[in-house]
Amino acid sequence: MLEQAVLPELTDLPRKKRNKRWLDLGLPVLSLVCFVSLWELSVRLKLFALPTPEETMKTFLRLLVYGDPLYAKNLLQLTGASLWIVAKGCGAAFGLAIPLGVLVGANPYLEKLTHPILEIFRPVPPLAWIPLAYLMFSSLPGPTRYVQAFVVFVGAFFPAVVNTLHGIKVIDPTYIQAAKSCGASSCQVLRRVLLPGSLPSILTGIRIGIGIGWMCCVAAEFVGGRMGIGFYIWDSYSTGGRAPEIISGIIAIGIVGYLLNAGIIWLERRLLPWR
């Protein structure tokens, strides 16, 4: 009886698997198709003054391959310039935030000491720093570059420091005791227990930090400078509402953001095989 009841399910298994693979691939495609159809529909019904998906796609490909003659730059160069700023801002942010998070997480006194500063500045939107940043860097040649990197820095710093700190604090104290019972010194506990134990949180902080850094960079480029994808979409608007160019820029920002996130997730899988 029992075997008979189980058998049909077993034979069903390959079909179910095939169905699942089809859905895994089909549903994302379906969602894109729906989105583009709605877009097309809203243009035809004249709901918004937007270019059609087709027109936009052509512009996007033209910008990707030939670039925009007004700026003599293609989409890769424009996003590349923004990415370089994100790299500088995030590099500085993580270089400071991760060691700080480890120290503060491991030391309750340091935590009390830094808590008010962190909690007052954390809720401030990174873009609110832009005017002050221009004043701070006004004596340097080309202050805009510094301002943009600084805004990215502020955006990436807090998620990284908060996640690192949290990652250290939630490590099961038994792991530390276990290491000490094996004869580990404080330095060894830090290197062999606290760091690997908090690595998942640190990577989460990096992933969120890069995501916010990328957003901050685009926004900071609206305000000043002659380079980058944020500047490009703002300038395309200012020079006469070039909607296909603006949407192409938005799509490029979205794709880069997606790829950055996917890259860190890939890195997480590589670095955390035990999860």
CB of 200 to another protein, least distance (A): 9
Give strand pairing partners of 73.
68
Lookup: tokens for 85: 């700023």
Cβ atoms of 257 and 211 within 8 Å: the answer is yes
Asked if 190 is part of the footprint of another protein (rule: CB under 8 A), the reply reads no
Closer residue to another protein in complex, CB, 36/195: 195
- Minimal distance, residue 261 CB to another protein, in Å: 23
Which residue, 69 or 183, has its beta carbon nearer to another protein? 183
User: Is 144 or 201 the residue whose CB approaches another protein more closely?
Assistant: 201
Whichever of 148 and 198 has its CB closer to another protein, that residue is: 198
Among 174, 238, 240, 270, binds another protein (CB under 8 A): 174
Among candidate residues 223, 264, 244, 242, the one with its CA nearest the CA of residue 85:
223
Taking contact as CB under 8 A, which single stretch among the options 154-162, 181-189, 216-224, 241-249 is the one that binds another protein? Answer: 181-189
- Among 71, 137, 175, 222, indicate the residue that binds another protein (CB under 8 A): 175
Write out the binding residues for another protein, residues 36-95 only, by CB under 8 A: none
According to DSSP, residue 127 is labeled: G
Q: Which of 99, 172, 255, 265 binds another protein (CB under 8 A)?
A: 172
Looking at 90-98, 160-168, 171-179, 214-222, which segment touches another protein (CB under 8 A)?
Answer: 171-179
The residue range among 65-73, 126-134, 146-154, 174-182 that interacts with another protein, by the rule CB under 8 A, is 174-182
Number of Cβ within 10 Å of residue 236's Cβ equals 21
In the complex, least distance from residue 90 CB atom to another protein, rounded to whole angstroms:
25
How many residues bind another protein (CB under 8 A)? The answer is 21
Q: What angle do CA 140, 146, 152 make, to 5 degrees?
A: 165
Tell me if residue 122 falls in helix, strand or coil: coil
- Written as one letter, the residue type at 61 is L
186 is a site residue for another protein (CB under 8 A) = no
| Nearer to another protein among residue 154 and residue 171 (C-beta) | 171
Q: Are 95 and 102 in contact (CB under 8 A)?
A: no
Give the binding range for another protein (CB under 8 A) out of 129-137, 147-155, 248-256, 266-274: 266-274
Shortest CB 271 distance to another protein, Å: 10
Burial 37-62 (b: 16+ CB within 10 A, else e): eebeeebeeeeeebbebeebbebbeb
By the 8 A CB rule, do 81 and 228 touch?
Answer: yes
Q: Where are the beta strands (DSSP E) in 39-193?
A: none
| Contacts for 79 with CB less than 8 Å, ≥ 6 apart | 228, 229, 252, 253, 256
Q: Which residues bind another protein (CB under 8 A)?
A: 172, 174-175, 177-185, 188, 192-193, 196-197, 199, 272-274
